[in-house]
Amino acid sequence: MDQVAADLRIAADKGYVPAQYLLGAMYEDGRGVQQDYSEAARWFLQAAEQGHAEAQLCLGRFYRSGCGVPQSDAEAVHWCKKSAEQGNIESQTYTGMLYEYGIGVVLNPEEAARWY
């Protein structure tokens, strides 16, 4: 673990949400730490539960792919919608795609269009 990751870990352990998100991103990409999707998901979850929109999107994508967490389309929808409802444009597009293709939800072109 490099010094940046170590410093972020201290802040994340103290509940600082942006540090939790950034630490998750570092574990996802293997920047400054050994790549570990489960550890990334753990940090994304902590930030997502506190309302961090980007962490919610990352977590949703992890659930969609089963990366670091058990695959669950329903959880993917849950977290992506939480992020989308906060106005995250990327999440809105991703949520639209979930509705367009009926992934984790009943296929609904009108709802897809609303999110797009």
> Kindly report the CA angle at 65 between 24 and 32, in degrees rounded to 5?
25
Q: Span 58-85, mean pLDDT?
A: 98
Q: Is the pLDDT of residue 70 over 90?
A: yes
**Chain CA centroid to CA 79, Å:** 7
| CA 80 – CA 104 distance, rounded (Å) | 11
Q: Which domain holds residue 16?
A: 3-115
The reported pLDDT for the residue numbered 13 is 97
The reported pLDDT for the residue numbered 1 is 85
Which of 58, 80, 81 is CA-nearest to residue 69? 58
Report residue 64's pLDDT band, with 50, 70 and 90 as the boundaries: very high
CATH code, domain with 31:
1.25.40.10
* Amino acid code (one letter) for 94: Y
Domain count, the chain: 1
